[in-house]
Chain A
Amino acid sequence: MNITVTPATFSYVEFDADLTTRVARELAASMGLDRDVRIEIDETTPLAKIIVDVPTAANEPIVVHADSGAFEDTRRPRRQSENTTATSLGRVLYRATDRLQGGFGEAPADGELTLAQMAAWETYSVGRLARLGIPVNQQRWRYNFRNRHGFSDAGDESFALLWSSDGLTWGELQAISERAISVGTPARAQVGT
């Protein structure tokens, strides 16, 4: 498995391509991901968007596009955080792994996922990252889930189920998400979307 990071050196931020490579390699090994991975960092933006392209051809690499904010230490602007890098990369690499390992064939492309579907998948991914030993703040992801599924006890139960699950299929994940919305009080912002 080959991991490449671009750019190799940075001028807008104080990032370390070697650290990013090491983190990605360790994550991929833990997840059982055997594809090449190319990570492209846009250091000109402080935003934290991170997306992943998963090619169908086996000989093509998974490509991660990350804004610099996705790997940044929020305590020290422009510096890289190993933990944030691991959490951000881990989320998209788990999504890529899910798509490649089967059971997620019916999942919409990342850009087509609803906010609730994305929040459910993020919960499922970060829960597994936590079990890999990556330090995460569970309440952050619970709050994200609540924002997308409503603030209710039933929603929290769905969150706990996703967080603790392994080996879900897209159908199972979506069913948990839909159940949370149906019994909770969906955010007004979600109505009609």
Chain B
Amino acid sequence: MRTYFPVEELARDERFSKVNMRERMADPRTLAGDSATTTRKSRGNNNRLVPSRRDATDAARALMHGIFVGEIQALEGAGRTCHDFAVSNVPGTGPSGADSDPTTGNTVPFALKLDMARQAWDEARHVEISVKLSDWMGTEIGQFAENTVLFEAACSTDPVLRLAGVNRALEGLAIDVFTTMKDFGDLAGDPYLEFCEDWMLADEVTHVKMGSDWLRKVTENDPDRRKKALDFQNVVDKLFSYGGTRSDSEESPIGLARRFRELAGFSDAEVADIAAVSLAALDERKSSVAKMRDQAVTEMADQLGTA
């Protein structure tokens, strides 16, 4: 079996339609449509995914499908990490270490592989749960386009970058998403959604903790590598904060689950950083929208003036 599987070749049947992050961000409506201002008329400044939103049911269905495909990719990513790297139990062995894999220069401790195997087992269960929840909510498999960014973050040739990008950034986002969905189920009185999300949330906290612990152990004597990994995590965090989808602000559909992040091994400073990046992304979006609106008003005034 080959190592380092490209995202384009992930096995999917005809029900699925994949889009990557670049395609998603290239949608001109993302800014021009201004969900921030359009929705403000009906929801005030609150865009949080709660049952009282008029579009709550469909928004929850779409998010649940996003969770479902995310779980598939998380399973694939954890499985690849079990397979892609040679074993070395010397902590801190890096690209130039004596025990490096000659192909990639990277190795992982055997216990890390065991954790990834356990995670793959968890993710497989989450896929099954997500399929049943989607069915319960009236969503068909593949009904929404699949964003492949999670697996893209799991394609790094450095296992430490995978831990930072997938286990800490994306599984960290999963903590925020599951908390939001769990609260949604609780408020709506949905007996299954709240229960299932709570169960999966517990696993996600464990996955993030694994990432936090292994990142520290493996880079114990390699501060440059640790910095590179944390920088990569910041990039992924920022990517997923695009448009302010997740932040402490009620204007974001998904909240930042601070308590569960603490349990998962994030320091107060790290949580504060993610909160700042998320809010900056939200402000960036609002600023872009305001500029576009001003431009449109100016263009219209010019046209009226010359008519």
A binds B: yes
| Contact residues of A between 109 and 155, Cβ < 8 Å to B | 115, 118, 137-144, 146-147, 150-151
Say if the beta carbon of A183 comes within 8 Å of chain B.
no
Choose among B29, B30, B57, B186 the residue that contacts A143 (Cβ–Cβ < 8 A). B57
Say if the beta carbon of B6 comes within 8 Å of chain A.
no
Given contacts A76-B17, A78-B27, A189-B50, contact A46 B33 (CB under 8 A): yes
Q: Are A186 and B189 in contact (CB under 8 A)?
A: yes
Q: Are A44 and B52 in contact (CB under 8 A)?
A: no
- From A138, which residue of chain B is reached at the shortest CB distance? B138
- From A144, which residue of chain B is reached at the shortest CB distance? B57
Q: A148 to chain B: closest CB distance in Å?
A: 8
Q: A77 to chain B: closest CB distance in Å?
A: 6
Choose among B50, B52, B135, B191 the residue that contacts A151 (Cβ–Cβ < 8 A). B191
| Contact residues of A between 43 and 61, Cβ < 8 Å to B | 43-49
Q: Are B138 and A187 in contact (CB under 8 A)?
A: no
Given contacts A12-B29, A12-B32, A147-B51, contact A139 B61 (CB under 8 A): no
Count CB-based A-B contacts (< 8 Å): 110
Given contacts A47-B39, A74-B144, contact A143 B136 (CB under 8 A): yes
Say if the beta carbon of B280 comes within 8 Å of chain A.
no
Q: B99 to chain A: closest CB distance in Å?
A: 45
Q: Are A46 and B29 in contact (CB under 8 A)?
A: yes
- From A193, which residue of chain B is reached at the shortest CB distance? B52
Interface string of A67-101 (1 = CB under 8 A from B): 11000001111100000000000000000000000
Q: Are A141 and B138 in contact (CB under 8 A)?
A: yes
Q: Are A44 and B61 in contact (CB under 8 A)?
A: no
Say if the beta carbon of A185 comes within 8 Å of chain B.
yes
Q: Are A147 and B190 in contact (CB under 8 A)?
A: yes
Residues of A with C-beta under 8 A to B56: 147
Choose among B19, B39, B54, B189 the residue that contacts A187 (Cβ–Cβ < 8 A). B189
Given contacts A49-B55, A140-B61, A147-B56, contact A77 B188 (CB under 8 A): no
* Interchain residue pairs with CB less than 8 A apart (11): A12-B32, A42-B33, A45-B29, A46-B29, A77-B27, A139-B135, A140-B139, A144-B57, A144-B58, A151-B189, A187-B188
